[in-house]
Amino acid sequence: MMLCFGIGWPVAIYKTVREKNPAGKSVAFSWIIVAGYLAGIIHKLDNPDWVLFLYVINTAMVLIDLALMHKYRHRNNRPPAAVSTQHP
């Protein structure tokens, strides 16, 4: 499961960067995923193994995707620049 999610997040990041439009992505869902990964990290701190690395990497990728979603939502929600009709 962790490997499959690990493969999925770079694809999601690539899609966000390519389209520069995070439409259809849920910020709330992504934060729930981050919370789950953080719970996994906390659990693995008691008995660390290679899965801890997967939790950390996946968390980082979701946070990167969240940052990109924020960036592009902010950019896409700006009102269009005013066009000057005055001629010099």
Residue 59 confidence class, pLDDT cut points 50, 70, 90: very high
The packing angle between helices 50-76 and 2-19, to 10°, is: 20
| The pair of three-digit structure tokens given for residue 8, joined into one six-digit string | 């999925």
Residue 86 falls within a domain, yes or no? no
**What element of type H or E holds 84?**
none
Q: Which position has the token pair 């999925």?
A: 8
Is pLDDT at 5 greater than 90 in this prediction? no
Residue 49 confidence class, pLDDT cut points 50, 70, 90: very high
Residue 58 falls within a domain, yes or no? yes
pLDDT given for residue 61 in this prediction? 96
Domain at 43, CATH number: 1.20.1280
Tell me the CA distances in angstroms from 40 to 22, 26, 33, one per residue in order: 27, 21, 11
Domain tally for the chain? 1
pLDDT given for residue 85 in this prediction? 55
Please tell me the pTM assigned to this model: 0.79
pLDDT given for residue 53 in this prediction? 94
Q: Work out the number of other CB atoms within 10 angstroms of the CB of residue 6.
A: 15
pLDDT given for residue 24 in this prediction? 86
